Amino acid sequence: MQKNFNAVVVVEGKDDTIRLKQFFPGIETVETNGSAVSDVFLEKLKKLAQTREIIVFTDPDVNGERIRRIVTEAVPNAKQAFITRKEGEPAGVGSLGVEHASKEALERALTELHAVEAAEPDFDYSDYIDLGLALGKTSRKLREAVGIKLGIGYANSKRFYERLRTYGISYQQLARAVKEAENVQSDSNRDAR
């Protein structure tokens, strides 16, 4: 992947920057320095967003989601890059993070960017429940698998629903991803027997 975009990638810390630069030497990053995102940082980011594309690329954990939400509120047109929880797992001891992802996972995340869509979604919460993404025994696992299929990461039920709607995922796309995820799960359950 060549740096062929006029973007600045928002990451949480130095280790994320080091990992990205290891594979993409020309990439430009700004670091939030953890979950205490300062107003000064947000103001600088807003100014930067006037002339540059902003990509939010935070860790696939609770703090990463919190930072993503804060940054996206400040820069609503920021694009979003996601890795899965599995892709962010450390080889040894440590917490989930962009700094542990493989080159392939980072490349995919920076290629499959998501943007806030202005279009009104064509499904509601009852459709979401009917698809099995909330209020079911397997909803958590299904959301995780669907998040991987759609490239939007994992979130709890409420946040995942908001994310689907924010990124303009259609009912047809969602239903197809659910069906594919269910097929994969039933295949792996059959193999486990």
- Considering the domain architecture, whether residues 77 and 144 belong to the same structural domain is answered as no
Condensed to tens digits (0 to 9), the pLDDT of residues 91-141 reads: 888 889 999 999 999 999 999 999 988 788 899 999 999 999 999 999 999
Number of domain units in the chain? 2
Of 87, 116, 145, the residue that ends a domain is 116
- Considering the domain architecture, whether residues 152 and 175 belong to the same structural domain is answered as yes
For position 20, which CATH number holds? 3.40.1360.10
Nearest residue to 123 (alpha-carbon basis) of 82, 92, 178, 168:
168
Q: What is the pTM of this model?
A: 0.88
Of 116, 134, 166, the residue that ends a domain is 116
Collect contacts of 41-47 with beta carbons under 8 A, ≥24 apart.
Answer: 42/70, 42/71, 42/74, 45/10, 45/71, 45/74, 45/75, 46/74, 46/75
Would you call 82 helix, strand, or coil by DSSP?
coil
Condensed to tens digits (0 to 9), the pLDDT of residues 41-100 reads: 999 999 999 999 999 999 999 999 999 999 999 999 999 999 999 999 998 888 899 999
Range of the domain at 131: 119-193
**Residue type for position 31:** E
